[in-house]
Amino acid sequence: MSHSRNLALSIKAPISFPEIGVAGKTGSWRLEKPIVDNEKCVRCFLCEIYCPVNVVRVDREEGVSIDYEYCKGCGICANVCPHDAITMVEEG
């Protein structure tokens, strides 16, 4: 959260504005990395919907892509995938 980009306020209010990466490069927190097998993927979008940090995108043609710069490796995407198309692999 960033409190710096305040409106032109006469006071200090506890408000914040969403920005990409306000908590730093959270990808460095990852112990396990989600690896996608787009051959198995049926484009159901569940992984994109469930991702708590909004780093998963599903494209109808290309399949799933993950922004590893911010993915924390929580594994929820792998857990919700109904076709086991996502595997959690230990970071090297």
Q: Is residue 2 classed exposed, middle or buried when 0-12, 13-18 and 19+ CB atoms within 10 A define those classes?
A: exposed
Contact region with another protein (CB under 8 A), list: 13-21, 30-38, 52-60, 74-82:
13-21
Does position 10 interact with another protein (CB under 8 A)? The reply is: yes
- Of 18-47, which residues contact another protein (CB under 8 A)? 18
Q: Is residue 4 classed exposed, middle or buried when 0-12, 13-18 and 19+ CB atoms within 10 A define those classes?
A: exposed
Nearer to another protein, 6 or 38 (CB): 6
Q: Which residues bind another protein (CB under 8 A)?
A: 1, 3, 7, 9-18
